[in-house]
Amino acid sequence: MIRTKKLRPTKNRCKFCTKDGCPRPAFVDYKDVASLKKLVSAQSKLFSRKRSGLCAPFQRAATLAVKRARFVGLMPYVGE
């Protein structure tokens, strides 16, 4: 019987944080629609922190940015 190595799942790193840590205050630009679309599913639902890999302050900032982009009309409220 051949033994296989069990691979540890890699932890998602926050794409907005630096090596020094999480910059305060956490800000995500609502006009940057390309990066916001990566945080949203096909039905325009936000991904969870576990799925998106963001830290807590940036998850809250991304949520606010998506809501602002929807209100302004840059992103749809429902999927296409």
Domains of the chain: 23-80 (4.10.640.10)
pLDDT of 26 over the 90 cut: no
Predicted confidence (pLDDT) per residue in 27-79, tens digit? 889 999 999 999 999 999 999 988 988 888 999 999 999 999 999 999 999 97
For the whole model, what pTM was predicted?
0.79
In whole angstroms, give the CA distance from residue 28 to residue 63: 9
pLDDT value at residue 10: 67
Closest by CA position to 80, among listed 39, 43, 36, 45: 43
pLDDT value at residue 34: 93
pLDDT value at residue 12: 67
